[in-house]
Structures are given as C-alpha cells and as structure tokens.
Structure 1
Amino acid sequence: MIYLILSILISSSIFVIFKLFDKYQINTFQAIVINYFVAFSCGFFFYGNGATISEISQKPWIVGAVILGFLFIAIFIVMARTAQQNGLSVASVSGKMSVVIPVVFAVIVYKEQLSILKIIGIILALVAVYLTTVKKGGGSFDRKKLLFPALLFVGSGIIDTTIKHIEKTSVVDGETPIFSAAIFSCAAVIGIVIITLRRDFKITGKTILGGIALGIPNFYSIIFLLKALRPDQLGDSSTVFPINNVAIVMLSTIFGILFFKEKLILKNWIGIGIAILSIVLIAISAQQL
C-alpha cells in the first residue's frame, strides 16, 4: 500500500508543477520533453546497474516501452487539445474515467475477481471523478467535439492497461526502474522530433528548470505505480487503478484549494466525500478476496 500512496502523492504534485508552469510562463511542451530526458537519466544512471543500450534493446519489454513512449507524448498532446476545445473539466473526466478500461481488461484476461463491494466502489469512483472536476458553468460534452475527449479516454485506458500487462508478463524483479527509463527515453526522442518539425528551438533557463522539476517526480510516480502493481503488493489492477485515479483527482483538487485558492462548488465537495468512500470500499474488498 505504501507504494500506491507514494504514487498518488507524487502524481498529484505534478499537477501543481503544471500550474506553476502557467504562472511563470514556462513553455509547457518544451518542459515536458526535457522532463522525459531527466526521467530517463534518473532511471538509466542511478538504477541501470551497468546496463548498456545494447542489452536494454534485447529486453522482452523493449517493444512495449517504445509503444508506451509514443503513447505518453501523444496522449499529452491530445490532453492539451481536449482542454483547449472542451475545457479542463472534460479533459480531467475523460482521462480519469478511463479506469474502466484496465479494470475490464483485468477481469476478462487475468480473471481478476470483482466482488459486489468492489463494483460499488468503482461506480462511486467514476461518479466522484466527475463531481470533483465539474465546474460551475464549465465544460460539458459537445457532440460536435467528442473526438479528442474520446481519444483521451481510450488512450489513457490503453496506457494503464499496457503498463499492467507488460509489468505482469515481461518485467522481472529489479528491472522496473530501467523499464521506466526506456519508456521515458522513447517519449523524449519523439518529443525532439516534434520540436524539430515545429522549429521550436528557443529554450529558456526557466524552461530547463521546469523540465527538471517535473522529470524527477514523473519518474518516481511511474516507479511507485509499477511497484504497487507487483504481486507481492496490491497487485490486483482492478484495485490499484480505481484507487490511484480517484485519489489523484481528489488530492489535486485539495492542492488547488490550498496552494492556488481555487473555489469549489457543492458538487465538488460531494465528489471528494464520495471519492473517500469509494477508496475505502475498494480497499476493503481487496482485503476480502
């Protein structure tokens, strides 16, 4: 449970960092690309155990790492476009409600059990994500603008599902950091290609600092999530992902109140309460199985 808690705390802090990017007018996309290089460096240089690029390229999970690297950067672009066209509330709901995809996959493929208590908890989690992110007069789904929210929903779900599948089938004990580093390196390379195509080469010192500030927690958020998915931990993805997603939304909302004086409407407070209840129910159901 400790790894899941650490993943939630660090992942929630990333939203604070993005808020600071806006406040200090940091080029977000450039900082994201730098963050991937920093995250790759954390894994390769501190946890690589002398592994060479040649050795890493022979790992059974390398193809999955390349696919995830592409998805990481692609879904970020989709997320930005969704927020631009549909609003932040729609972007948040689309991304976090994707938890149903890895849960359904786990039940069908891995035969993970869903008790009545866990089903109720997952349904409440989805309700909580919506209520916590909705804003007064804020974004609602426009049928004419469903493409990017739909892509964000599907893409986020595929990322979570792929991470769990590769962790379960290919990543052995001790390889989690270097596997994560490989994902980030692939995302960094793709990011450089995009920057080159955009000819967006003017990088400031504060953008570099922002990328470093984002890269370190980004790396460890993945590390701790992967560790939480290990069989000797919670392991059950139908438990881990709902708790992880709804807790991140809830905690990010609280951070917004504490650090940025964001105002909540009644629905948001109800959502936080339901989120806490859903986490409790899912955690209890995990102990019963």
Structure 2
Amino acid sequence: MALIYIALSIGCSLILAQILKLAENQKLSVLHVLVSNYAAGCLISLWNAPEWGGTSFFPETANLGWGVTTTVLLLGLVFIANLLVYSKSIHRVGMGVSIAAMRMSLVFPIGVSLFVFGEQLVSIRYIGILVALASLLLMVPRIRTKSISGVSDAWLPVLIFVMTGVADTGMKVYERLFSAQISEDLFVSGIFLVSFLIGGLVLLKRGEYQITWKEAMYGVVAGLVNLYSSIFLLYALKMMPGSVVFPLVNVSLVVFGTFIGVWFWNDKPSGKQWTGLAMAVVSIFLLLG
C-alpha cells in the first residue's frame, strides 16, 4: 500500500509541475496561481479533516501545543518562500545551480530519518540511496552560472537547499511526533493557510489586487493535486522508512519528469543526463529491495 501512496504522490507532483509550466507558457502570473492554489488546497483539506464539523473542533485545534503550531507556521512560510526564491534563483544564478541545490537537499530528510529517528535499513537500500544521490547530480542540466551581482545572489542556492530540506524534513517530523495529535488533512490545511496568507501579503505589497478567472481556475486545479501530493506522501511515511520514501519520490519525479519533458516539451537531455536517468532507475530497484 505504501508504494501505491508513493505512486499517487509522484503523479500529483508531476501534474502540478505541468500546470505551473502551462501557466507560465500562457503568461499567467505564477504567484497569482500559487496563492489561489494554497487557498483552494486549504479549503479542500479542511473540509476533509476528520476534526472539522464537530463541536470540539475549535477547542481541540486551539490546544494543539506549540510543537504542532510552530511546525505548521514554519512549513507554511517555507512552502511559498522556497518557490519564490527558486524562481528568482533561476533568473539570477542559473537553472543548473538552482536545480542542483533543490535536488541535493534530499540529504536533510534522509539524515534526519537515519540519525535522529534511528531508522534501520538493509545494506542494499543504503547503496540505493548513494546511487540515487549520484544520479540526481548527473541529471542536473549543464550548469551555466550567470554573473552573480552580489552576496545576496550567491545565497540564493543555499536558501533553496536549506528550505527544500526543511520542507521535506517537516513531513517526517509530523509523521513521527504529531500524527497522533492532528490528522494529515488538518495539518496540511494549516500549512496551506499560512502560505496563502503570506502570498496574499506579497500581492498586497506589490499592489496586485486582482486575480484573473483563468489564474484562479489554474490555482484550484493546482491546489487539488498539490494538496494530495503532500497527503499521499504523509500516508507513505506512516508505512515505509523516510530514508527510503524520500529518495524514491525524488528520483522517480526526475525520471518521469524527464520523459514528460522529452515527449511533450521537446526537451533534449544530454548524454550525461541519460546516464543519470539509467542510474536513477537502478537506484529505484535497489531502494525497493
């Protein structure tokens, strides 16, 4: 069952990526789509939460404790900030460096799963993790760093590396520490609410008070798949070690994302990237072993 949840999470993430790419191609504001996405995801997740609708909903949620509340606030900030920094980093320091930083952040949740929560794996899975990390490096597009105009630009990939790692690690922390206190749906709805509020404040600061109908519709669809990519990931983490789930999801996204890019967007991977793709497939079998 864990593998089914992993497959569903991967599928939702791939659909989300294509929605955002379509939005960019149609010259829609990605931030408008993201804000709409978090609003829709929050409402859908809240509606599905088992805590919702009962007379004890507000007393229970008001007494969740500082640990859950802090985690939700932190992840809500990180979720939307990471996407905004990633978009800026692509333009300021180049796509190759930005993607490399995001993918290699995988070491955060793997490290926390193994060394903090003490997960034990068979030897072949440790090999699979190493092969997965190597394959991700090979899959990175040719790194052509743009001229860095200041210290702030140099920090952009570092921020991506840290924030992506924090976001993934937060999911593992929830599964181990807070899943008995709050349902997956309510947890994710809280994260999306914080992301929506932060995104909304950014729009207000920019003086962007209107979201088009098309941007809102893209946001609703994106919110649905974005929500369930997180929900299914949390379900999988309940059934399988995080040190296996995270590399499986990450590597599979790269593999299938590459094929989608080739088939639908006319991407042309280099020989090095095809080698990385082959290694990624091998790592998947090792991790499943």
Say yes or no: does 1:181 pair with 2:186. no
Q: Is the 8 A contact 1:12 1:249 kept in 2?
A: no
User: What TM-score results when the alignment is normalised by the length of structure 2?
Assistant: 0.90
Query: 2:137, 2:104 → 1: CA distance?
Result: 8
Q: Is the 8 A contact 1:90 1:141 kept in 2?
A: no
Match of 1:111 in 2: 118
Distance 1:73 1:92, change over 3 A: same
Match of 1:50 in 2: 53
Select 1:166's aligned residue among 160, 174, 178: 174
Match of 1:120 in 2: 127
Which secondary structure does the structure 2 equivalent of 1:134 belong to? coil
Query: 1:188, 1:54 → 2: CA distance?
Result: 23
- What is the alpha-carbon root mean square deviation over aligned residues? 2.0
Match of 1:247 in 2: 252
State the one-letter code of the partner of 1:182: G
Which secondary structure does the structure 2 equivalent of 1:50 belong to? coil
CA deviations 1:185-206 (Å, max 9, x no partner) are 1111111111111112232111
Q: Is the 8 A contact 1:42 1:216 kept in 2?
A: yes
Give the length in aligned residue pairs: 279
Match of 1:92 in 2: 99
Match of 1:265 in 2: 270
Shift in Å, 1:56: 2.4
Shift in Å, 1:11: 0.8
In structure 2, list runs of 5 or more residues that go unmatched: none
Match of 1:12 in 2: 14
Distance 1:197 1:274, change over 3 A: same
CA deviations 1:33-64 (Å, max 9, x no partner) are 11000000111123354154553232242321
Select 1:64's aligned residue among 63, 71, 80: 71
1:72-87 paired onto structure 2 within 5 Å? 72-87=79-94
1:124-273 paired onto structure 2 within 5 Å? 124-135=131-142, 138-140=143-145, 145-172=153-180, 175-230=183-238, 233-234=239-240, 236-273=241-278
Match of 1:30 in 2: 32
User: What TM-score results when the alignment is normalised by the length of structure 1?
Assistant: 0.90
State the one-letter code of the partner of 1:83: I
State the one-letter code of the partner of 2:45: G
Which secondary structure does the structure 1 equivalent of 2:27 belong to? coil
State the one-letter code of the partner of 1:160: D
Q: Is the 8 A contact 2:76 2:194 kept in 1?
A: yes
Query: 1:27, 1:41 → 2: CA distance?
Result: 22
Q: Is the 8 A contact 1:134 1:267 kept in 2?
A: no
More moved, 196-205 vs 31-40: 196-205
Q: Is the 8 A contact 1:47 1:178 kept in 2?
A: yes
Query: 2:5, 2:182 → 1: CA distance?
Result: 15
Q: Is the 8 A contact 1:96 1:246 kept in 2?
A: no
State the one-letter code of the partner of 1:5: A
In structure 1, list runs of 5 or more residues that go unmatched: 285-289
Q: Is the 8 A contact 1:34 1:215 kept in 2?
A: yes
